[in-house]
Amino acid sequence: MARFALSRILQAIPTMFIVSMLVFGLIRMAPGDPAAMQMGREAAKPENLPRLEALREEMGLTKPIPVQYLYWIQDLAQGDFGDSLKNKRPTIDLFLQKLPATLELILGATLFALLLSVPLGILAAVRRGSMVDRVSMGFVSAGLAVPGFWLGLTLILLFSVRLKWLPASGYVPFSEDPIENLKRLILPSITLGTYLAATLMRFLRSDMIQVLGADYIRTARAKGLREKSVIMRHAMKNALVPVLTIAGLEIGALLGGAVIIEQLFGWSGVGWLTVQAIFDRDYPLVQTSVLFVTIGLIFVNLLTDIAYGFLNPRMRVS
């Protein structure tokens, strides 16, 4: 298992290089001048043109893009992720400051999705054609079709504006006020986790139906095993293997979806930070955020592959 994990990490290195080159090049081809944005209105005055050119030189914007990229890679090799052009602080510090909020949001959305999709997906497969099955499939259709921002706005209007049960937006660290933190976490977690719940429920139901018709399930029932034991010990374990692939990909996609949800609910996380950095043309901060998000996606996929071995011994041997 250790050799497999090491090989996957080595395979991920070229991916990270490609992603870094794409992000580095695309953000520099975007319209806007970071030096002018940093100077503000003063940059538009003709007498400040020498200052503007000097600032561009200081920020390294006058060099060709490939040269700028090589300098950035050289700094990364020394553990220097650069300073934010706007805040004048190390980008790694700004990223780590916002990371706990995003991780908490993703964890909340994942827990909501799993607690909803696993029991309902299994019940829908076991009681195929029943009311539970129809309700579950209705949720799947709605969850896959409804845009996240629309669902978030609807939840805010219902639970915050009309019923006044939950705060509409804002982030309070768990260490400062745990109760207020959890209250503010509910709506964004539901909004972000609904699509994941619908996706997992759809695939889990389909795989459970297929597994329940397999020969070894009929053999287990013929031996006199209780239906609960057949479902939990035999059917569910094998049905979760293909679902795990979808879960790994979708949980990684939550990092992208969190950008919109954090903006909608004022959840001050990595997504919110990255959007602000893009608006400010803060190149070093955008690069640091995207680099670590890429590492997070690779790490999630690695954990998914390792989990295969625990669910299926044949995969562990191979």
3-class SS at 90? strand
At 312 the pLDDT is: 59
Number of neighbouring beta carbons within 10 Å of residue 70: 12
CA–CA separation, 289 and 81 (whole Å): 10
Q: Which long-range contacts (CB under 8 A, 24 or more apart) does 12-17 make?
A: 12/298, 12/302, 15/294, 15/298, 16/291, 16/294, 16/295, 16/298
At 59 the pLDDT is: 74
Element (H, E) at 110: helix 91-126
Tell me the pTM.
0.82
At 104 the pLDDT is: 92
Number of neighbouring beta carbons within 10 Å of residue 211: 21
- DSSP3 helix / strand / coil % (the chain, rounded to 5): 80, 0, 20
How confident is the prediction along the chain (318 residues), in pLDDT tens digits per residue?
Answer: 567 667 777 777 787 788 888 888 877 777 777 777 777 777 777 777 888 788 788 777 778 888 888 888 888 888 888 888 788 889 999 999 999 999 999 999 989 998 998 889 888 888 888 898 899 999 999 988 888 889 999 999 999 999 989 998 888 888 888 999 999 999 999 999 999 999 999 888 888 888 888 877 778 778 777 877 778 777 777 777 777 777 777 777 787 778 889 888 988 888 888 888 888 778 888 888 888 888 887 777 777 777 666 655 555 545
At 186 the pLDDT is: 93
At 302 the pLDDT is: 75
259-290 burial, b at 16+ Cβ within 10 Å, e below that, comes to bbbbbbbebbbbbbbbbebbebbbbbbbbbbb
At 309 the pLDDT is: 61
Q: How far is CA 49 from each of CA 28, 30, 41, 62, rounded to the nearest angstrom? A: 21, 21, 12, 14
Number of neighbouring beta carbons within 10 Å of residue 35: 20
In order of their start, the domains of the chain are: 2-77 (no CATH), 91-317 (1.10.3720.10)
At 308 the pLDDT is: 66
